[in-house]
Amino acid sequence: MTNEADRIIELYRRHARSWAQRRGDRLIEVHWLDRFLKLPPSRPSVLDLGCGSGRPVARYLIEKGCEVTGVDSSPQMIALCRESFPQSEWRVADMRELSPKHRFDGIIAWDNFFHLGFDGQRRMFPIFGAHAAPRAAVMFTSGPAHGEAFGQLEGELLYHASLAREEYESLLDANGFEVVGHVAEDPDCGRHTIWLARRR
């Protein structure tokens, strides 16, 4: 399974534009994004990990007055972000290898964190901590239970993985975060499993 997880970056590089067209601007995540934005100060700085094309999540955050820094491993995705939102900062980088340059009031990893393998996900929690300002909000999506699964992207296998709920709770706690919201397979958000936490 590790090999399939390692192929994710190349898949999104090759299919960036078709993925962006399919994703579009439909935003079913508004309720959770608004909960996220209630935690940090007004006009927060937000680190958007795995930002994709910037639509629709980063677009919503920008329209709400956030100072967004987007990170994605696909240069093609970042090019789409820069076309649409030239006023924001966009960086080509692997989220698992980020080193802190500054701290952010909010960190979001929506619909991408679950493409990492088990160890890759575990490695992200110290990165969340290193980039989080005091009382920062962190929100990410996962699977509902420990395991691996496959979807498809343009007819190719698309890897997903999830840790157990108890392990996510433990990793957040160990890295200085308290859970303030969690729903497994939220029926009002496309059956996403969502974690919302705050830096203690």
- In order of 73, 97, 128, 147, the CA distances from 197 in angstroms are 24, 22, 11, 22
At residue 193, does pLDDT exceed 80?
Answer: yes
pLDDT digits (tens, 9 = 90+) for 4-41: 677 777 767 776 677 667 776 789 999 999 999 999 98
The model's pLDDT over 118-176, given as tens digits with 9 standing for 90+, comes to: 999 999 999 999 999 999 999 999 999 999 998 887 778 888 999 999 999 999 999 99
Q: In the structure encoding, which two tokens stand for residue 124, read together?
A: 């992200």
Q: DSSP E strands: which ranges in 26-176?
A: 45-49, 67-72, 89-92, 104-109, 132-142, 147-153, 156-162
* Domain segments of the chain as ranges: 2-199
Using alpha carbons, list the distances in angstroms from residue 111 to 23, 79, 81, 139, 176: 11, 19, 17, 11, 23
Q: Which CATH superfamily is domain 2-199 in?
A: Vaccinia Virus protein VP39 (3.40.50.150)
Mean pLDDT, the chain, integer: 91
E strand or H helix that includes residue 31: helix 30-38
> What average pLDDT does this structure show over 107-115?
93
Higher pLDDT, 48 or 1: 48
Q: Give pTM, 2 decimals.
A: 0.92
Residue 192: Cβ within 10 Å count: 21
Single-letter amino acid code for the residue at 165: R
Residue 45, C-beta contacts closer than 8 angstroms, at least 6 positions apart: 66, 67, 69, 102, 104, 105, 106, 133
pLDDT digits (tens, 9 = 90+) for 74-102: 899 999 999 999 999 999 999 999 988 88
